[in-house]
Amino acid sequence: MITADYLSQIAPWSHELTAAERERAARGIVEKHFSRGDYICHQGDRMNYWCGVARGIIKVGTVSTHGKAVTFTGVPQSGWVGEGSVLKDEIRQYDIVALRDSRVVLMQKATFHWLFENSVGFNRFLVHQLNERLGQFIATVGSDRMFEARPRVARALGWLFNPVLYPGVGRFLDISQEELALLCGLSRQIAGKALKELEEEGLVQVDRTGIGVRDLPGLASYGA
């Protein structure tokens, strides 16, 4: 169980709730630490929680029948993922892995469904979240068909800075080039070269602590 004040700090969607709804939500959430490489859930698990990232970055992906690792998305601090599986009460169709040491908050399915059935603010958030997520995966399918590294890195960054899905990120993301490469399915060297080219084009600013965005629309539509 966490406090309502802490929930307000780590979950921007909680600001859509009434004070009573926020208290109810906080009572149904626990926080856990996962080390880099730890599985938060495996594909095929029946995980009765909705997952949020209080600190760190997690990766959502799977491994194909031929053994190829496929990344669907990365989820930075303030992001939440897995609402579809909770709504449909189905097994997870993907793995969730900690890309670095992370603090993950887990909302019980019963609490999630109570909010879904009783909170107008929560439902408003879910509509925006699911709509944005659909757009993300449609764009991901398209970018995965691109052979050039630069558009793949640009689109991946565009989604990590998405203000609807991850409003807590702002204009700067604490992410290493190695972590970005893992999310893009590229080697660190190739991802780093693409990132440098995007910086030269004025889309991002790279330093040793992370990546800043200069032109978010340009990143999100890169290569279109």
Q: Both tokens of residue 58?
A: 């997690």
Instruction: Give yes or no for a contact between 198 and 208, defined as CB atoms under 8 angstroms apart.
Output: no
Instruction: Give yes or no for a contact between 115 and 70, defined as CB atoms under 8 angstroms apart.
Output: no
Asked if the domains 4-130 and 146-220 are classified in one and the same CATH topology, the answer is no
Segment holding 97, helix H or strand E = strand 95-98
Alpha-carbon distance 212 to 11, whole Å?
22
Q: Can you give the pLDDT at residue 143?
A: 57
CATH code for 146-220? 1.10.10.10
Quick: pLDDT tens for 121-160: 999 999 999 988 887 776 666 555 555 889 889 988 998 9
Residue 101 has pLDDT above 90, yes or no: yes
Residue 26 has pLDDT above 70, yes or no: yes
If you count DSSP H runs as helices and E runs as strands, how many of each does the chain have, helices first?
Answer: 9, 11
What DSSP letter does each residue of 30-69 carry, written as one string? EEEEE-TT-EEE-TT----EEEEEEESEEEEEEE-TTS-E
* Domain boundaries along the sequence of the chain: 4-130, 146-220
Q: What is the mean pLDDT of residues 10-21?
A: 96
Q: Can you give the pLDDT at residue 144?
A: 56
Alpha-carbon distance 121 to 6, whole Å?
19
CATH 3.30.420.40 fits 4-130, yes or no: no
> In whole angstroms, how far apart are CA 186 and each of 65, 163, 191?
20, 25, 6
Q: Can you give the pLDDT at residue 102?
A: 97
Quick: pLDDT tens for 32-88: 999 999 999 999 998 899 999 999 999 998 886 677 777 888 999 999 999 999 998
Q: Can you give the pLDDT at residue 71?
A: 83
Quick: pLDDT tens for 173-198: 999 999 999 888 889 999 999 999 99
How do 172-173 and 49-55 pair as beta strands? unpaired
Q: Can you give the pLDDT at residue 168?
A: 85
What does the chain come to in residues?
A: 224
